A and B are shown apart, each in its own frame.
Chain A
Amino acid sequence: SQKIEQNSEALNIQEGKTATLTCNYTNYSPAYLQWYRQDPGRGPVFLLLIRENEKEKRKERLKVTFDTTLKQSLFHITASQPADSATYLCALDRNSGYSTLTFGKGTMLLVSP
């Protein structure tokens, strides 16, 4: 069956460090992968999109890698701040013929001062 796995345990790091979150998938061949941030009680907010022919994408303090051989994406936040504390979700194509996002369950990031 198709699976998208994100670390269910919260990631606790100290302010200023780099946070690295992992998204693994099986039985998918996504053309792209997206990362979203979700704060409690709110809808997800788009952060980055990376396509299958791109190895790496950057936006300010954020970096995403996409390894289609390993079936894995890594999401990095450098110089992390307490305001980065949130749940981060990866999403990819549902292989439905029409692009439909399927989400992982997300990893909660807690950045302490």
Chain B
Amino acid sequence: KAGVTQTPRYLIKTRGQQVTLSCSPISGHRSVSWYQQTPGQGLQFLFEYFSETQRNKGNFPGRFSGRQFSNSRSEMNVSTLELGDSALYLCASSSTGQFVNTEAFFGQGTRLTVV
């Protein structure tokens, strides 16, 4: 079974630009969560999608948005990039998003550098 695939692995963008990151979950998984990881803040939850609906959102500005398609693939978009958006962006998939019974499977992440 293929794992969670995130593309691209690395990105360099300029301040003010926008970026779109992609995540393909494990086949059959309907829940996709996105996290931002920085050395100072650790893993911070961005949002979670289940069957194309956003069920939960973290405390991030509106510049961060996402969506999920009918095949469960998900994208996240960051507009008007700031230097502080430089981070490792991780996507996690699970069958139900009910973590009392199951685990999260993470992708390798996308390393975004804003210059």
Bound-state CA distance A32–B105 (Å) is 17
A99 touching B33 in the complex, CB below 8 Å, given contacts A43-B107, A43-B109: no
Residues of chain A from 17 to 69 with CB closer than 8 A to chain B in the complex: 31-32, 34, 36, 41-46, 49, 51
Bound-state CA distance A101–B99 (Å) is 7
Bound-state CA distance A99–B103 (Å) is 11
A98 touching B109 in the complex, CB below 8 Å, given contacts A46-B103, A104-B42: no
Give the interface residue-count category, chain B: 20 to 34
CB within 8 Å: A-B pair count: 70
Bound-state CA distance A102–B56 (Å) is 12
Whether A99 contacts B98 by the Cβ 8 Å rule is: yes
Whether A94 contacts B103 by the Cβ 8 Å rule is: no
Give the interface residue-count category, chain A: 20 to 34
Specify which chain B residues have a CB less than 8 angstroms from the CB of A101 in the assembled complex: 33, 45, 92, 99, 104
Quick one: closest B residue to A103, CB to CB? B43
The answer, yes or no, to whether B2 is at the interface (CB within 8 Å) is: no
Whether A100 contacts B42 by the Cβ 8 Å rule is: no
Residues of B bordering A, CB below 8 Å:
4, 33, 35, 41-43, 45, 48, 50, 55-56, 88, 90, 92, 97-100, 103-109, 111
A98 touching B108 in the complex, CB below 8 Å, given contacts A32-B100, A93-B99, A104-B42: no
Could you name 21 residue pairs across A and B whose Cβ atoms are closer than 8 Å? A32-B100, A34-B99, A34-B104, A36-B104, A41-B108, A41-B109, A43-B4, A43-B109, A44-B104, A89-B43, A94-B45, A100-B45, A100-B97, A100-B99, A101-B33, A101-B92, A101-B99, A101-B104, A102-B45, A103-B42, A105-B43
